[in-house]
Amino acid sequence: QKEVEQNSGPLSVPEGAIASLNCTYSDRGSQSFFWYRQYSGKSPELIMFIYSNGDKEDGRFTAQLNKASQYVSLLIRDSQPSDSATYLCAAPIGSSGGGADGLTFGKGTHLIIQP
């Protein structure tokens, strides 16, 4: 059973600073990872997908994958109060990198951006 682990937080970051969220995974064969954001009382929404080792940038968000150390990170630059949410890390359950067989989710890290 693939496992994805996250620190539940809360992680408190001042507005304008960089928020760093981390995720570790158990299956060395995992090829890709997803970051979802979930506001309180809302559904998860996909914000980043990373497949290769290294960094992937999209606006203020950067996902980092280190397969040797089996961890995935999400950096949020210039943090805004609207970034306050729970961030979920997920990995495909099967061998499909795109999650065709389902995704296994971490329990999420609660991020608070302090104005």
Partner 1 sequence: DAGVIQSPRHEVTEMGQEVTLRCKPISGHNSLFWYRQTMMRGLELLIYFNNNVPIDDSGMPEDRFSAKMPNASFSTLKIQPSEPRDSAVYFCASRANYGYTFGSGTRLTVV
**Binding-site ranges for partner 1 (CB under 8 A):** 32, 34, 42-46, 49, 88, 93, 97-108
Q: Which is nearer to partner 1, 77 or 107 (CB)?
A: 107
3-state secondary structure of 75: strand
- Least separation, in Å, of the C-beta of 24 and partner 1? 15
**Secondary structure element (H or E) that encloses residue 111, with its range:** strand 109-114
Q: Which is nearer to partner 1, 38 or 64 (CB)?
A: 38
Q: Which is nearer to partner 1, 11 or 93 (CB)?
A: 93
- Least separation, in Å, of the C-beta of 14 and partner 1? 27
- Least separation, in Å, of the C-beta of 34 and partner 1? 6
Q: Whats the size of the chain, residue-wise?
A: 115
Closest of 7, 88, 107, 83 to residue 44, by C-alpha: 88
The C-alpha atoms of residue 25 and residue 95 are separated, in whole angstroms, by 15
